[in-house]
């Protein structure tokens, strides 16, 4: 079974093998001296205090999720902003076979459609923000 | 592809998706508006019903429009049209059953999420693209998590929601992995193009890849339809969640999952014809799943006393009968003219199943006893004479589920078994006949636990007073389900015709006149992605 | 005429709907409606009988849009049709159903007081199911009616039955459902095989077309030789599963005594009189008519089971003290004769078998009705507690004796006309089976006459009177004499018991063409060289030295 995926599988295999062999080697070959200090959890060199399993406030997660939403939104918006007006060359002549869009940007026919789609997307996100705001996600009581 | 053609195709696709867009827009608007407006749940429910009705009208308006089979991500073929019709109508029924369920302050979110589920289900019915299909499936799943969590904040509900959430995410992962391999089979994500390409390729270049795709997609969808070995969540989740959501879970993911199986798997894989090794393996896998699901579902349902658990196992058993149809659909090769298509029987069965299972859950929703919900079989004792109409409706739905003529469920089983008998792998029809025999024996076992409820209702004396609740919407929905089960049993013609048309549309993958196809006989499938008659 | 047949079939259903939907009917209104419906159905059936043409093979009274295509389009699939028609096999069973329904209504006249409208509604729905079943010319339609009969009978037993009615109704329902689902598979298999292997790939669900088509079909073969070479045998077994349970054949009879004992009288009458015939009718129509190779290959097994059923049923009946149980087990024995006649695989046996179905319906129906009449008066069915009713209820005693003698196959009464040709037919096939089956006749005479002796003759014995008449001692002056409705229900049966016994000719003449076709198919299968069946042949003309009453049947065969 030789396919063009074979190198990838081989690569995976080798990567896992190297990682495993290193861990095993260090566990087998390395010196072990268990002292009290070495058994302590690592907390930047200070003596640890309190419980390691400290809880975060649940509101923190909500805010983190909302932040994540807008963070990822940027991931969509940035390529769009670059591609929206940068076309000009008809896509079909330069695009490789099989792909709809060439590397040169959004074809002229699609520009207004894509523009409004993105606006719609932003509106939905804004609605979600309004929803979260009204629900009191940002109030730290 | 020429951008001009592509643009027209996108426009056309957007046009046929207007019903989904209406439902989706209404859902988003309701979600957003819910914290700003303090309306009673009736208002929110009415808005939802209005949106579904508007989508229904829009669907009828776009019924004639078609899109390019190889360019568009969504198809308005017979399957797309009738599928969406069924989703919208069953959505109205579910809405009627749910109208009293949520508290006033979460009603906006509840019905908004409900509309999103409907939109997702409709997207799956039309899907002609791997990614689009996945988006549709997720649009069904994600609001479902919300609904499960929103309804009542008890610890059981939360356990249920968490359980369903994690398992569902896991299955989505499996599905996505499988879809990626399906893409790898021929290097296109358009399903019709995928089918056509695999027909023209001398054999699927990497049967192993194809097999991985089949296994993972099937596994991911088996979770949705609650088929063995991904069935185990169903009883706990049904029992722990409000009855309305159990009804929703027993129908929407199942219908969606089977249509997705037809769209993404059977219609694509089966074009190789029954002699292909991949097709034979796929038949074998789904044969095992079908047999195991039927046997397990029916056997465990025998032991249940809780109505919702019983219906959960019955839902598993029915997934097994439907898997017979999937097995047959895998074996239905590209040649047309089968007496009974596998997917045809699936579609018919799904419609019948929607009616009978929603009706059965609806009766349970519509009854209360001693200040609590009706929970066990014994709670229904004597119902036949204390509450004759609900009991009659439940009896019709249960007899239909057990496949007694002249009810809709009988025709469902008839079509399934007939398609199994009409199928064969080459000259070998033995496995299908064996599967059909296993199927009827299971149907006989299944009749026992349905009959037990009927016996309890009609032949046992009443023990406690059972009162109706839910008002006219629930009564209307239940009445519609029961009477349609009977009417479609007497005159199944329209559904037979529609499911036949949908089946023909689902397996149709050839352009009107097939031009010469040049296929590179290289080892790499991902480079031979040309669809010559689409590219200019 | 075609319309009349459809109306006849659907009329009871209409009556049933009226009974359910009409608000607040009292008992007498309900039973009057039911009686009216059954009488009208009977009248229509008699009109059909009068216009039935003798000696015609093709089904009559059918909608026939094109020649050879029966029935009206009903589903989207053009091939499943709404087709009714009667032929020689179904005609008498159709009439029997219409007749016994009147008896059933009459026997419920006083017995049913609780929820009477619902009761009669179920009874009428059952009648439509049975009439439709016998009249169906389409396999799917047949199957729908076949299964539909379960629902009303389930409720009749479950709601108005005896103390163990729940168990009886569940067992009856599940047992028959499990078998009939396998039968459904067999039916589908027949259609698919016919579609796939017929030269023109004809997809048809029509019974006459299938019978004709399958007889000339080049069946596929799995092996070169041997009786298992063809899927026919497998399909035969699938079909058999449902029908053998319905008949019931020997190892599948366990549901029957329970259902009979627990059912109300009318339920027992219909169950024994008509519903068991559904099984044997299906055997004849499907197993013998469409998969003759299976019948030819498996006949030793089935004949053995039939003989075991005859003797076993008779022996168990001998041991009963409960009259209803006795009659129930006698049904097992007598239905064994029906099956035995079929598997004689010649026209003598087949004719006997068809007429025996009608006979058994009449005599057993009458016996159950008589037991019901007794039970209504004494509230017991124990033979030890009732005796000498000749003095108390002479009319009932007369009916009781006549139907028992008919059932015991006394020459001159109807049972003989059925059982004698069956044994003669079987004798030409296998002497051993015929002789063993003959002992069933003797045992049958034993238990039936014994019952008559204990119940009808001897000194008057009556159970201790009810609490109402506690002071009356053994006097039972209050025992209600036999009422007009009981006489009206039983008298036609008595007339037919005598009539068939004396002049069986007109009955057999109408059966012959259809049974002849089945016989032709069977013989052609036996002629085929690939099937090796041991045949102990006695040339048929030899048997015509039979007594006078049985002459009718063999003579017709001699031709």
Give chain C's mean pLDDT. Answer: 84
CB C140 to CB B492 under 8 A? no
Rounded to 5°, angle at Cα B314 from B310 and B320: 155
B513 contact A CB<8A: no
DSSP per residue, C492-545: HHHHHHHHHHH--HHHHHHHHHHHHHHHHHHHHHHHSTT---------GGGGG-
Alpha-carbon distance B135 to B138, whole Å?
5
Q: What DSSP character marks residue C200?
A: T
The pLDDT score that the predictor gives to residue C529 is 39
Residues 459..518 of B with a Cβ closer than 8 Å to C: which?
459-460, 491-494, 496-497, 500
Domain ranges across chain A: 58-134
In chain A, residues with a C-beta closer than 8 Å to the C-beta of B36 are 134
| Residue C498 C-alpha, separation from nearest chain B C-alpha, in angstroms | 39
A106 in reach of chain B (CB within 8 A): no
Global model pTM greater than 0.90: no
* DSSP string for B305-336: -BHHHHHHHHHHHHHHHHHHHHHHHHH--S--
- Proportion of chain A in helix, strand, coil states, percent, rounded to 5: 60, 0, 40
Instruction: List the single residue in B with minimal CA-CA distance to A93.
Output: B2
A134:B208 CB<8 A: no
Kindly report the backbone phi and psi dihedral angles of residue A2, in degrees, each rounded to the nearest multiple of 5, phi listed first: -115, 110
- From chain C, the residues in CB contact with B500 under 8 A are 76
For chains A and B, what is the number of CB pairs under 8 angstroms? 48
CA distance B458 to chain C (A): 8
Residues 25-44 of B with CB under 8 A from A: 28, 31-32, 34-36
CB contact under 8 A, B437 and C151: no
Cβ of B194 under 8 Å from any chain A Cβ?
no
> Does the pLDDT of residue B273 top 50, yes or no?
yes
Minimum distance, in Å, between the CA of residue B440 and any CA atom of chain C? 6
Chain B interface includes A37 (CB < 8 A): no
Backbone phi and psi for residue C60, each to the nearest 5 degrees, phi listed first: -110, 165
- With cut-offs at 50, 70 and 90, classify the pLDDT of residue A54: confident
Q: Does B5 touch chain A (CB under 8 A)?
A: no
At residue A88, the pLDDT reads 54
Across B78-101, average pLDDT: 94
* H-run or E-run covering C60: none
Residue range B157-173, pLDDT digits in tens: 888 889 999 999 999 99
Which of B66-70, B96-100, B245-249, B451-455 is predicted least confidently? B66-70
CB spacing of B491 vs C74 below 8 angstroms? yes
Mean pLDDT along residues B412-425: 88
Enumerate the residues of chain B whose CB falls inside 8 A of the CB of residue A109: 3-4, 6-7
Residue located via tokens 């089977």: B258
Chains C and A touch (3+ CB pairs under 8 A): no
Report pLDDT for A103: 53
C166, C181, C195 ranked by CB distance to B455: nearest: C166
Please give, rounded to a whole number of angstroms, the shortest distance from the CA of B209 to a CA of chain C: 35
Q: Which tokens sit at B341?
A: 């298509």
The string of pLDDT tens digits covering residues B364-390 is 999 988 778 888 888 898 888 888 899
Using CB atoms, list chains with 3+ pairs below 8 Å to chain A. B
Give me the residues paired with residue C81 across strands: C73
**What is the overall mean pLDDT for chain B?**
87
Residues of C in contact with B441 (CB under 8 A): 178, 181-182
pLDDT value at residue C222: 67
pLDDT band at B337 (very low <50, low <70, confident <90, very high): low
User: Domain coordinates of chain B in residue numbers?
Assistant: 3-507
Distance, CA of B458 to CA of B386 (rounded, Å): 10
Q: What is the ipTM of this complex?
A: 0.86
pLDDT below 50 — which residues of chain C?
467-475, 529-559
Question: Which of B284-298, B432-446, C527-541 has the weakest average pLDDT?
Answer: C527-541
> What are the tokens at A115?
């523009």
Check residue C75 and give its pLDDT: 67
Domain boundaries, chain C: 2-465+479-558
């Amino acid at each position: 079974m030789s396919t063009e995926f074979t190198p990838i599988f081989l690569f995976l295999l080798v990567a896992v093998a190297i990682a495993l062999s290193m861990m095993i080697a260090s566990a087998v070959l390395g010196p072990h001296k268990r002292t009290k200090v070495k058994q302590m959890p690592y907390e930047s060199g200070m003596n640890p205090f309190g419980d390691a399993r400290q809880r975060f406030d649940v509101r923190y997660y909500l805010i983190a999720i909302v932040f994540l939403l807008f963070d990822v939104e940027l991931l969509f918006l940035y390529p769009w902003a670059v591609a929206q007006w940068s076309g000009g060359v008809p896509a079909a002549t330069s695009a490789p076979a099989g792909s709809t869009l060439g590397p040169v940007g959004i074809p002229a026919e699609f520009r207004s459609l894509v523009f409004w789609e993105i606006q719609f997307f932003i509106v939905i996100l804004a609605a979600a923000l309004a929803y979260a705001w009204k629900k009191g996600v940002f109030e730290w009581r | 592809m020429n951008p001009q053609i592509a643009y027209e195709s996108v426009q056309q696709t957007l046009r046929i998706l207007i019903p989904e867009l209406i439902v989706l827009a209404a859902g988003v608007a309701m979600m957003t508006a819910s914290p700003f407006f303090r309306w009673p749940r009736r208002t929110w429910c009415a808005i939802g019903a209005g949106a579904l009705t508007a989508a229904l009208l829009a669907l009828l308006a776009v019924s004639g429009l078609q899109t390019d089979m190889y360019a568009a991500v969504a198809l308005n073929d017979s399957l797309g049209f009738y599928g969406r019709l069924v989703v919208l109508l069953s959505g109205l029924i579910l809405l009627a059953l749910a109208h009293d369920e949520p508290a006033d302050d979460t009603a906006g979110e509840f019905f908004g999420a409900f509309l999103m589920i409907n939109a997702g289900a409709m997207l799956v019915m039309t899907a002609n693209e791997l990614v689009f299909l996945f988006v549709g499936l997720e649009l069904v799943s994600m609001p479902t998590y919300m609904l499960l969590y929103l309804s009542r904040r008890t610890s059981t509900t939360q356990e249920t929601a968490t359980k369903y959430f994690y398992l569902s995410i896991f299955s989505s992962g499996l599905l996505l992995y499988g879809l990626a391999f399906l893409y790898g089979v021929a290097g296109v994500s358009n399903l019709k193009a995928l089918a056509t390409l695999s027909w023209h390729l001398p054999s699927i270049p990497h049967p192993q890849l194809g097999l991985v795709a089949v296994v993972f997609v099937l596994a991911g969808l088996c979770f949705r339809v609650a088929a063995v070995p991904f069935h185990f969540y169903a009883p706990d989740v049904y029992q722990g969640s409000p009855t309305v959501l159990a009804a929703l879970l027993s129908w929407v993911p199942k219908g969606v999952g089977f249509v997705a199986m037809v769209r993404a798997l059977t219609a694509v894989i089966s074009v190789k014809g029954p002699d292909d090794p991949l097709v034979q393996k796929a038949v074998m896998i789904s044969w095992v799943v079908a047999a195991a699901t039927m046997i397990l579902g029916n056997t465990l349902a025998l032991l249940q006393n809780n109505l919702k658990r019983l219906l959960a196992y019955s839902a598993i058993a029915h997934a097994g009968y439907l898997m017979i149809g999937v097995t047959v659909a895998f074996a239905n090769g590209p040649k047309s003219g089968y007496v009974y298509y596998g997917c045809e029987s699936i579609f018919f069965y799904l419609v019948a199943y929607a009616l009978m299972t929603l009706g059965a859950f609806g009766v349970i929703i519509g009854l209360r006893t001693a200040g609590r919900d009706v929970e066990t079989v014994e709670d229904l004792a004597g119902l036949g004479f204390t509450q004759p109409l609900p009991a009659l409706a439940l009896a019709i739905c249960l007899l239909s589920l057990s496949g007694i003529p002249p009810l809709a469920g009988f025709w469902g089983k008839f079509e399934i078994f007939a398609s199994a008998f009409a199928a064969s792998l080459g000259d070998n029809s033995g496995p299908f006949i064996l599967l059909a025999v296993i199927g009827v024996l299971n149907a006989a076992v299944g009749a026992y636990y349905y009959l037990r409820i009927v016996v309890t209702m009609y032949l046992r004396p009443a023990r406690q007073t059972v009162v109706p609740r839910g008002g006219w919407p629930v009564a209307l929905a239940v009445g519609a389900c029961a009477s349609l089960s009977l009417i479609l049993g007497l005159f199944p013609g329209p559904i037979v015709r529609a499911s036949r048309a949908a089946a023909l549309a689902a397996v149709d993958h050839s352009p009107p006149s097939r031009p010469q196809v040049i296929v590179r006989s290289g080892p790499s499938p991902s480079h031979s992605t040309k669809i010559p008659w689409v590219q200019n | 005429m075609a319309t009349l047949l459809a109306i006849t079939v659907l009329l009871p259903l209409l009556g049933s709907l009226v009974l359910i939907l009409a608000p607040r009917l009292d008992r007498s209104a309900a039973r009057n409606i039911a009686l009216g419906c059954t009488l009208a159905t009977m009248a229509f059936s008699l009109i059909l009988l009068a216009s039935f043409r003798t000696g015609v093979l093709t089904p009559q009274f059918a909608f026939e849009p094109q020649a050879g295509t029966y029935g009206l389009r009903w589903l989207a699939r053009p091939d499943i049709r709404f087709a009714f028609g009667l032929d020689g096999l179904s005609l008498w069973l159709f009439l029997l159903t219409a007749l016994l329904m009147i008896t059933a209504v009459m026997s419920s006249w006083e017995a049913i007081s609780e929820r009477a409208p619902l009761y009669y509604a179920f009874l009428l729905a059952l009648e439509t199911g049975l009439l439709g079943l016998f009249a169906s010319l389409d396999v799917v339609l047949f199957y729908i009616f076949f299964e539909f009969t379960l629902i009303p009978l389930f409720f009749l037993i479950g709601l108005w039955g005896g103390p163990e009615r729940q168990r009886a109704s569940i067992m009856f329902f599940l047992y028959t459902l499990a078998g009939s689902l396998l039968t459904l598979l067999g039916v589908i298999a027949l259609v698919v095989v016919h579609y796939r292997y017929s030269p023109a790939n004809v997809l048809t669900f029509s019974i006459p077309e299938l019978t004709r088509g399958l007889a000339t079909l080049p069946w596929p073969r799995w092996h070169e030789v041997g009786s298992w070479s063809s899927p026919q045998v497998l399909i035969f077994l699938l079909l058999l599963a449902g029908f053998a349970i319905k008949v019931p054949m020997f190892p599948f009879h366990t549901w029957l005594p329970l259902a009979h004992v627990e059912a109300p009288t009318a339920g027992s009458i219909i169950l024994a009189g008509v519903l068991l015939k559904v099984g044997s009718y299906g055997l004849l129509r499907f197993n013998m008519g469409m998969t003759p190779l299976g019948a030819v290959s498996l006949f030793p097994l089935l004949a053995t089971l039939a003989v075991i059923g005859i003797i076993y049923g008779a022996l168990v009946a001998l041991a009963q003290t409960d009259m209803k149980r006795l009659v129930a087990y006698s049904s097992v024995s007598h239905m064994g004769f029906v099956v035995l006649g079929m598997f004689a695989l010649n026209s003598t046996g087949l004719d006997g078998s068809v007429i025996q179905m009608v006979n058994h319906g009449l005599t057993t129906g009458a016996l159950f009705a008589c037991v019901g009449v007794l039970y209504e008066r004494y509230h017991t069915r124990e033979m030890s507690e009732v005796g000498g009713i000749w003095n108390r209820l002479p009319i009932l005693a007369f009916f009781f004796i006549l139907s028992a003698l008919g059932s015991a196959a006394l020459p001159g009464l109807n049972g003989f006309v059925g059982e004698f040709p069956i044994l003669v037919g079987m004798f030409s096939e296998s002497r051993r089976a015929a002789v063993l089956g003959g002992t069933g006749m003797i045992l049958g005479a034993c238990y039936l006459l014994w019952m008559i002796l204990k119940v009808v003759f001897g000194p008057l014995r009556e159970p201790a009177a009810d609490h109402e008449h506690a002071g009356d001692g053994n006097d039972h002056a209050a025992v209600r004499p036999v009422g007009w409705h009981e006489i009206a229900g039983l008298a036609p049966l008595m007339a037919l018991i005598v009539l068939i016994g004396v002049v069986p000719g007109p009955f057999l003449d109408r059966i012959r063409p259809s049974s002849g076709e089945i016989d032709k198919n069977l013989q052609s299968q036996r002629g085929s060289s690939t099937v090796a069946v041991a045949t102990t042949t006695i040339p048929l003309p030899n048997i015509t030295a039979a007594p006078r009453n049985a002459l009718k049947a063999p003579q017709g065969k001699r031709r």
